[in-house]
Structure 1
Amino acid sequence: MTPTRPLLALALAAGLAACDRPEEPAEAARAPEDQTVVATKSDADIPPWLSPTDPMEPARWLASRELGRPAPEVGSQADHLRHSLARAKDAFIEDPRMVANRTVQLGQMLAEAGTPEPYADLLDGLEAVAAVTTRKQLFGEMCQQYYNTRRQGADRATALARLTERYAAQGSGDQTPAPGPSPGDAR
């Protein structure tokens, strides 16, 4: 082997290694507007869960999840879910995005248990339960109670009736405290 071959091999290896080096400092220092990210997600990609940064409206996402394909922005199903989620803001502590996620979760759990229900029916039924009290409720907790009641063998109407009875017993949350001791009582 001649002395130039090792030098040539070394030069070639150094040149190839330079291809893997990180970007130049000038490129890294470019302004963020020069590094615009282009969305590559098509409308057909319906995320399994709606994150806080997802641009899709919760009602449309919920309709799309149920259909298994993108739902139109306007239409009876999306419109119905939009109104249901608007009412849910008054009944539940969670925001519409979280209510939509929990509705899908409950729907999936029920379907896996062999008792599927449409998302709109789940949402409307649980809103009716929450309406019997004036306090805002935890939607996730109510979903779990509904699921457990259904898994115990209750049908939809019976499960909703049991939850309504349970939540009605809570009343408005304005219970008067028990009277304290009177000033003349011995301690």
Structure 2
Amino acid sequence: MQPLRRAAPGAGQDWLQVGDKTAPSEWLANRESGGRAEKDAARRLQAVLATADARFYEGSRMIANRAVQLEAMLRENGVNEDARTIIEQLSSIAQDGEHAGFGETGKHYVTARLQGASREEALALLKRKGLPGPTTGEER
């Protein structure tokens, strides 16, 4: 008889709920690995989220959730970019302390990509225009 194996936090979970005890970095790492993330993967994602947290209005949990939504929106339209890459790329064009809205920035990014812009073109467009602020009601 084999011992029961508990599911890794975030494995198969589409959304990180308010009050969930799972760290956003651990949740994303387990999503990426299909539930078999190593501690180093979560640590690396924690650094990615910390950078995003310093640049965007939303906190790490909401940034992680929004990035997964953006990943799904892009995938549905034949564009394969993972949540980590989306967070890294959008963070790369935001300035420290700018506190733009990650959700709004992501919407503009997806729109540009779906209109045929490459990743680089979409990021350059956002950087040129300036990043949008948070919409009313987006939580920190």
Q: Which amino acid is the alignment partner of residue 162 of structure 1?
A: L
Q: State the alpha-carbon separation in 2 of the partners of residues 153 and 67 from structure 1.
A: 29
Equivalent pairs counted in the alignment come to: 126
Q: Percent identity?
A: 38
The answer on whether the counterparts of 1:86 and 1:96 sit within 8 Å (CA) in structure 2 is: yes
TM-score (norm 2): 0.81
Q: Which amino acid is the alignment partner of residue 23 of structure 2?
A: E
Q: Which amino acid is the alignment partner of residue 101 of structure 1?
A: N
Q: Which amino acid is the alignment partner of residue 142 of structure 1?
A: T
TM-score (norm 1): 0.62
| Structure label with greater radius of gyration | 1
Unaligned runs of 5+ in 2: 1-5, 133-140
Q: Once the two structures are superposed, what CA deviation does each residue of 1:16-67 show, in whole Å capped at 9, x if it has no partner?
A: xxxxxxxxxxxxxxxxxxxxxxxxxx33462210012211110110121122
Matched, 1:161 2:127: no
Which has the bigger relative contact order, CA under 8 A and spacing at least 6?
Answer: 2
Q: State the alpha-carbon separation in 1 of the partners of residues 125 and 47 from structure 2.
A: 25
Summarize the alignment of residues 119-158 of structure 1 with structure 2, pairs less than 5 Å apart: 119-131=83-95, 134-158=97-121
Unaligned runs of 5+ in 1: 1-41, 171-187
Secondary structure class of the residue paired with 1:108: helix
Q: Which residue in 1 is equivalent to 2:58?
A: 94
